[in-house]
Amino acid sequence: MRTLHRLCLGLVFVGTGVAVQPAEISMEGRRLLVEGMLDGSAVQVFVENLRRGNVQTVVFVDSMGGTAEAAGLYAQAIRETGVNTEVIGQCHAACAYAYLAGKVHRFGEGEQVNALLIPVGTRPKPAELASRWRGEESYRTLAEFTEPPQDGEMVDATDAPPKEKWRPEHGVLFVASPTLFGRVYNTYYCDGSQGRDFTRCELLADADPRKLGVISD
């Protein structure tokens, strides 16, 4: 069984071999495709497309990297317009939080491995996994990376500023892998030391992304 898990993660690793480039926005019917890194350079084009009112689903295709601030801008636009979201291939860091903002969020069909890597500041406790990415909780988690300390709040000078705690490769990885018998869903914790070698991430028990609300359809 462990060999199967390593094989699935190996496929994720292979899938991240593409060059990371700024997001490109395009329309296919009522689907707004976003391909590439959410670095903020295409936010205005993205928002303009959503405000036209003819988008039903935002589809993220192989999007890795990006900043917490960019994630917040994309997520806000998605929430305000009430559109659905979908992942095809890899959706890491900024893309993951934008994806969670969808009214309904799902993994795309097909033969590709779909993987969602959600950055976290610290390792989630088992009890947190059940609610951390549902509704308002996901927005609070993202806010931890972007909001400055409140007035009067004591800050240790040795602490990194909030936005510097954003580590795109430190988080919880949700993977859907195609098999002859349907898709297999698994969840892993990646402490950041693995870089792009996701075979080093730790398998989490009882953490099916469908039960945790990461896939909501």
Residue 145, Cβ density class (10 Å: 0-12 exposed, 13-18 middle, ≥19 buried)? buried
Is residue 217 one of the residues assigned to a domain? no
Structural domain tally of the chain? 1
Q: Which structural domain, as residue segments, surrounds residue 76?
A: 2-203
- pLDDT of 118 reads 94
Evaluate whether 198 touches 173 at the Cβ level (below 8 Å). yes
pLDDT, tens digit (0-9, with 9 covering 90-100), for 97-150: 999 999 999 999 888 999 999 998 888 888 888 888 887 788 887 888 876 655
Measured distance CA(217)–CA(215) in Å, rounded: 6
Is residue 155 one of the residues assigned to a domain? yes
Is residue 211 one of the residues assigned to a domain? no
Is residue 213 one of the residues assigned to a domain? no
Is residue 216 one of the residues assigned to a domain? no
- pLDDT of 151 reads 52
Q: Which residues pair with 107 in a beta bridge?
A: 87
The CATH number covering residue 131 comes to 3.90.226
Is residue 194 one of the residues assigned to a domain? yes
Look at residue 180 and tell me whether its pLDDT is greater than 60: yes
152: left (phi over 0), alpha (psi -120 to 50) or beta: left
Evaluate whether 171 touches 120 at the Cβ level (below 8 Å). yes
Q: Out of 53-57, 98-102, 156-160, which region has the weakest mean confidence (pLDDT)? A: 156-160
Is residue 214 one of the residues assigned to a domain? no
